[in-house]
Amino acid sequence: MMMSTKVPPFSGTMNENGYEWLKDIESFFMEAQWTDNTRQCKYFCLCLCGDTDCHFNSFDNATQQTWTLLRAQWIKAYPPPIPEETTSEMTELNLFKALRLDISKITEPIPDKDGSLTWEMIRFVRTLRYYGDRILSMSDESKGAEAYSHLPTIIQDKVTAHSGPSLNPKLSSLCTDLLKLNHHDIANHIKEQAKEKNELQNQLTSIQSSINHSSRPITTAYIPPTYPHTPPNPHAYNFQPTPTMPPPIRAWDNRYGRTTYPTIDTKYPLTPGLPTPSSNECWRCGKVDHNRNDPECSQNPALPIKEQAYCHLIALSSQIPRPLTHNYTTNLVEPGLFPHQYNHQYPINPIHSHNPCSFDQYYNYSPPHPTTLLYHHEVILQYHDYNPHYAHDPYYTYDIQHSEPEHPVYSTTRNAINRSYIVVVDLGNGTGGDA
């Protein structure tokens, strides 16, 4: 006898047909020549799994042990399919699978067939139960999984998806959970989602509109207009970055302070390329042979304030004081005999003056205020050569332009500046003058 092919197990999923599977079982019994009810029912039970196994255990003992009763109950659960030529365009199963819950109708009640207002959720549950009762080819779990997969996300989050591990929700349990939902809360939540969606869409539309109407970028470089007769704006460079100070000046400021002015001992760093200090240079701009009032100096850029002060100090310190010289003119100035009304117009020697004085008067005169020691270049401001009032005495000859002996009281230092008294021009250079 040829051995028949074993029947695959049946779990009752949506892609399985229970009636066709029953036909395979009967074919196996015929090929195996099994006629015993106990043997047939035992093999039928071993081929079931999942929900179908639970459904088999719900039968009574007589049905479980009698093949005729068991086959009748199975056909009720999985009736034979209706031939397509005898059905309408869409069968009840297709209508059940095409059921959808309209999310836009959940927020407000809708009129029913009899004219009364009914929530869309209640109408949807009625339709599910109607087709669920008429469809016998699918298990309750399969119909529940089919209906659950087509629910909106907001509804799926509020109902129980599974009644157990790896089990789909039953249609009866799903309908009960849907009726327990608070329609007002769902309606408010849906309205808030719709409002947020509209606001987001309006923002996107506004951004896209602004992008479309924005001016195109200028491809050519912008050249600002020039106004040659307009004075420069003093605030034009306020937002420019501050130039970095040279490292020597920065080191000097860090050591002595940024608000501290240099002295002779601190040795402030000088601008490279300028002449050595005290070399007859102008301490304002660093150039040579001109003073501050010269047009050339005004055209040159001025040195930093601290560098000007340091160069000025170097120029003043480089002066070598001349020896004090007591002569006729200094005697006039020291005791206060120099008349102020002359406005620095020095008188000629006393012999030719209107009020000549004797030697003793000059020698023994006591000044009205303390005597100030003066240098030649601070006393004589013009060319002036003269002979003393005692030039008639052949023994006491005094002439600063010659080397004859002088009167012992009036000793004159012999140097080049005593030859003639020349005005010292203020250049603001190495001589220490103000530039």
Instruction: Return the higher-pLDDT residue of 328 and 146.
Output: 146
**Mean pLDDT across the chain, nearest whole number?**
67
Of the given ranges (10-19, 292-301, 375-384), which has the lowest mean pLDDT?
Answer: 375-384
What's the confidence (pLDDT) of residue 293?
66
Instruction: Return the higher-pLDDT residue of 86 and 298.
Output: 298
Rg (CA), the chain: 63
Average pLDDT in the 279-298 region?
71
What's the confidence (pLDDT) of residue 19?
84
Highest mean pLDDT among 30-34, 114-118, 194-198, 416-420: 194-198
Q: Report whether pLDDT(412) > 60.
A: no
What's the confidence (pLDDT) of residue 368?
45
Q: Are strands 110-111 and 117-118 parallel, antiparallel or unpaired?
A: antiparallel
Q: Report whether pLDDT(359) > 70.
A: no
Nearest to 271 by CA among 303, 244, 314, 309: 303
Q: How confident is the model at residue 390 (pLDDT cuts 50, 70, 90)?
A: very low
Nearest to 59 by CA among 46, 69, 47: 69
Instruction: Return the higher-pLDDT residue of 320 and 177.
Output: 177
What's the confidence (pLDDT) of residue 225?
66
Average pLDDT in the 69-80 region?
86
Q: Which two tokens stand for residue 184?
A: 């007002």
Instruction: Return the higher-pLDDT residue of 246 and 423.
Output: 246
Average pLDDT in the 284-306 region?
74
Q: What is the pTM of this model?
A: 0.28
Q: Report whether pLDDT(26) > 80.
A: yes
379 burial (CB, 10 Å; 0-12 / 13-18 / 19+) is middle
Nearest to 272 by CA among 252, 257, 286, 256: 286
Q: How confident is the model at residue 91 (pLDDT cuts 50, 70, 90)?
A: confident
Q: How confident is the model at residue 316 (pLDDT cuts 50, 70, 90)?
A: confident
Question: What number of residues does the chain have?
Answer: 435
Q: For 141-187, how does the pLDDT look when each residue is reduced to its tens digit (9 = 90+)?
A: 888 888 888 888 878 877 765 444 445 678 888 888 888 887 777 77
- Indicate if the alpha-carbon torsion angle 335, 341, 347, 353 is positive or negative: negative
What's the confidence (pLDDT) of residue 220?
63
d(CA 154, CA 158): 7
What's the confidence (pLDDT) of residue 343?
43
For residues 349 and 388, the answer to whether their CB atoms sit within 8 Å is yes
What's the confidence (pLDDT) of residue 369?
42
Highest mean pLDDT among 21-30, 49-58, 84-93, 197-206: 197-206
What's the confidence (pLDDT) of residue 337?
44
Q: Report whether pLDDT(41) > 80.
A: yes
Q: For 174-217, how does the pLDDT look when each residue is reduced to its tens digit (9 = 90+)?
A: 888 888 887 777 778 878 888 888 899 999 988 988 888 766 55
380 burial (CB, 10 Å; 0-12 / 13-18 / 19+) is buried
Q: Which long-range contacts (CB under 8 A, 24 or more apart) does 180-183 make?
A: 181/121, 181/155, 183/106, 183/119, 183/121
Tell me how crowded residue 199 is: count the other CB atoms within 10 A of its CB: 10
What's the confidence (pLDDT) of residue 108?
74
Three-state DSSP state, 252: helix
Instruction: Return the higher-pLDDT residue of 346 and 101.
Output: 101
Q: How confident is the model at residue 35 (pLDDT cuts 50, 70, 90)?
A: confident
Q: Which two tokens stand for residue 193?
A: 């989602």
Instruction: Return the higher-pLDDT residue of 363 and 317.
Output: 317
Q: For 234-286, how does the pLDDT look when each residue is reduced to its tens digit (9 = 90+)?
A: 555 455 555 566 788 888 888 888 888 888 778 778 777 677 766 667 767 77
